[in-house]
Amino acid sequence: MTEEAKTQEAVPANEATTTAAPAEGAQTAPDLTITDLTALKQIIDVASSRGAFKPNEMVTVGQTYSKLEAFLSAVNSAQQKVEPPKGE
């Protein structure tokens, strides 16, 4: 493991340092996107198909996967309602 990776792991995500504080009232971009969550769902699919999880972990993995799948489905449905079909 490189020194840089060790340093990044040592700093908790909620205490990450920034070079400049955001202006008051300004919002920062989210660090986790729908694309990231979709990739995470695919990672769980691949990992489970390769036997990466122990049997006693499968319940937790399955429940988390189901929540993630439901969330992504709800977001997809909401986006389809907001965005008009292409070509119109």
Q: How far is CA 64 from the centre of its chain?
A: 12
Domain annotation covers residue 81: yes
4: enclosing H helix or E strand = helix 3-10
Mean pLDDT, rounded, of the chain: 78
65: enclosing H helix or E strand = helix 58-82
More confident position, 38 or 2 = 38
Domain annotation covers residue 30: no
pLDDT confidence of residue 61: 95
Which residue range is the domain that position 69 belongs to?
53-88
For the chain, the domain total comes to 1
Domain annotation covers residue 24: no
pLDDT confidence of residue 35: 94
| pLDDT tens sequence across 26-69 | 677 768 999 999 999 999 999 999 999 999 999 999 999 999 99
Spatial distance between the Cα atoms of 48 and 42, rounded to a whole number of angstroms: 10
pLDDT confidence of residue 34: 93
